[in-house]
Amino acid sequence: MAIADLVLGTMYFGTAVDESTSHAILDAFAEAGGTTLDTANCYSFWRSDTGRGGQSEAVIGRWLARNPGVRERLVIATKVGVEPVPGGPEGAVEGLAPYVIRREVERSRERLGIDTIDVYWAHADDRDTPLEDTVSALGELVRNGAVRRLGASNYATWRVDRARALAKARAVEPFTALQLTDSYVRPRPGMPAATDHRFGAVSDETRDYLDAHPDMEVWVYSPLLRGAYDRADRDLPDGYDHPGTTRRLDALAATARAVGASAGQVVLAWLMHPERPVRPIVGVSDVRQLRDALEAAELVLDPADRARLDAAG
Ligand SMILES: NC(=O)c1ccc[n+]([C@@H]2O[C@H](COP(=O)([O-])OP(=O)(O)OC[C@H]3O[C@@H](n4cnc5c(N)ncnc54)[C@H](OP(=O)(O)O)[C@@H]3O)[C@@H](O)[C@H]2O)c1
């Protein structure tokens, strides 16, 4: 795989990662040949004093404005659906009603300062809005040129399939990408993965669906489990403590030694399987972490290394 397949996650840009560091990361990413940015209208409300999102898109927008010509070389992805409702009950989010989608796409385009969003993600399923309404509203955005492509994040696979069938019946753009979490170690069966979303993790069912639908791309979020593979100050999340993890961490350490890379870099290289279109979304908070990810994107695991990793756990 290559740097162009890596996605830069910008969730904390403008909140936990200050603007000048965010811009330095974006500069280094673009200079290295990085192509794809992932953000959301709600990033990152939980790290902001206002309790509202939008900071990440705004930081990207100001960086694009300072770098004329760079936008044409980039794929810019953003999301709608989980921004909190102002003054609403605890945990209430905007959802995916047509009026929310139409309002939020304009706000995202304005913050980013772009005419067309390359990939627009439904951030999480909204079971209170008829799926056909969401599908039609998203499809309309492609038809009117506000958006190029659509993706679904944190959806149950059956709901993605149903949405695609509804899009086909209405002759509108379907979802052609999934955004879910995945990594090398996996939680114990029955334990939630490291995501707040019930259907947020890649499962065997997801892989089966992807095998049968080659037009679908998958982007995986939080692949480094917040740095836990390499950092003594970060534990693996609850639910990952089981014998399979021990075997996988041993195989990872052996592979990292063999190829002269860090464990996190091997995880990214392993995920970027040459025969399966998985695109890791890396979160970084400084340029050094970005460089580690860029090196990983160019790391080619030989068949013996890959076999050792696949066989463990
Ligand atoms: N669709 C969704 O629901 C969803 C959910 C979550 C995330 N996402 C997307 O996925 C992206 C990545 O998510 P994430 O931040 O949770 O990813 P992650 O891969 O689990 O963690 C990223 C964190 O790992 C640490 N790290 C990264 N590289 C490192 C290195 N070389 N050495 C040491 N530590 C390192 C950093 O922590 P420190 O900053 O503490 O140093 C960094 O912020 C987000 O930006 C967002 O675009 C999507």
Tell me the pTM. Answer: 0.97
What confidence tens digit (pLDDT) does each residue in 110-141 have? Answer: 999 999 999 999 999 999 999 999 999 999 99
In a domain, 139, yes or no: yes
Q: For residues 81 and 247, what is the distance between their CA atoms, to the nearest angstrom?
A: 38
In a domain, 127, yes or no: yes
In a domain, 167, yes or no: yes
Residues with CB under 6 A from ligand 1: 9-11, 38, 153-154, 179, 221-227, 230-231, 264, 281-285, 289, 292
pLDDT of residue 87: 85
Mean per-residue pLDDT for 198-220? 95
Which domain does 210 fall in, by range? 3-239+264-301
Mean per-residue pLDDT for 61-86? 97
What confidence tens digit (pLDDT) does each residue in 93-116 have? Answer: 999 999 999 999 999 999 999 999
Token duo for residue 78: 């953003």
Q: What value does the mean pLDDT of the chain take?
A: 96
What secondary structure letter does DSSP report for 174?
P
| CATH code for position 8 | 3.20.20.100
Phi, psi dihedral angles at 150 (to 5 degrees): -120, 145
pLDDT of residue 14: 98
In a domain, 309, yes or no: no
Q: What is the number of domains present in the chain?
A: 1
Q: What is the per-residue burial (b if ≥16 Cβ within 10 Å, else e) of 157-187?
A: bebbeebbebbeeeebbbbbbbbbbbbbbbb
In a domain, 246, yes or no: no
In a domain, 250, yes or no: no
In a domain, 251, yes or no: no
**Probe target for ligand 1 pocket from 22, 43, 196, 226, with the most ligand atoms within 8 Å of CB:** 226
In a domain, 227, yes or no: yes
What confidence tens digit (pLDDT) does each residue in 148-186 have? Answer: 999 999 999 999 999 999 999 999 999 999 999 999 999
